[in-house]
Amino acid sequence: NAGVMQNPRHLVRRRGQEARLRCSPMKGHSHVYWYRQLPEEGLKFMVYLQKENIIDESGMPKERFSAEFPKEGPSILRIQQVVRGDSAAYFCASSPWTEPYEQYFGPGTRLTVT
């Protein structure tokens, strides 16, 4: 039973480019969460999605960031026109649809903006 998969593990982008981070949830999980870890900070919630629906995006920056979880395929976190401050580790977690919605984390994508 494969765990949560994220790719790429490391991503380097120049300022102004786009970054696309992918997350495949565990088999049978229908909920996906994205978190960001900035240097010296803890994990910060960004967005919570179910298939084809954004449930809670209260942690997403208002501009340049978007997320989707299509009917088929992985969840995508997209960052347009990246800036140096976007450099961070981005973690995805998935949970089943039953309570207490225990979350299982992927290995993360480390984004570096040069």
Partner 1 sequence: ILNVEQSPQSLHVQEGDSTNFTCSFPSSNFYALHWYRWETAKSPEALFVMTLNGDEKKKGRISATLNTKEGYSYLYIKGSQPEDSATYLCAFKSGNTPLVFGKGTRLSVIA
* Footprint on this chain of partner 1 (rule: CB under 8 A): 4, 33, 35, 41-45, 48, 56, 58-59, 91, 100-108
Q: How far is the CB of 46 from partner 1 (least distance, A)?
A: 9
| Shorter beta-carbon distance to partner 1: residue 8 or 16 | 8
**In Å, how far from its chain's centre is CA 86?**
13
| Shorter beta-carbon distance to partner 1: residue 66 or 105 | 105
| Shorter beta-carbon distance to partner 1: residue 52 or 102 | 102
Distance CA 113, CA 84 (A): 5
Phi, psi of 65 (to 5 degrees): -105, 135
Residue 108: which of 26, 32, 5, 33 has the closest Cα?
5
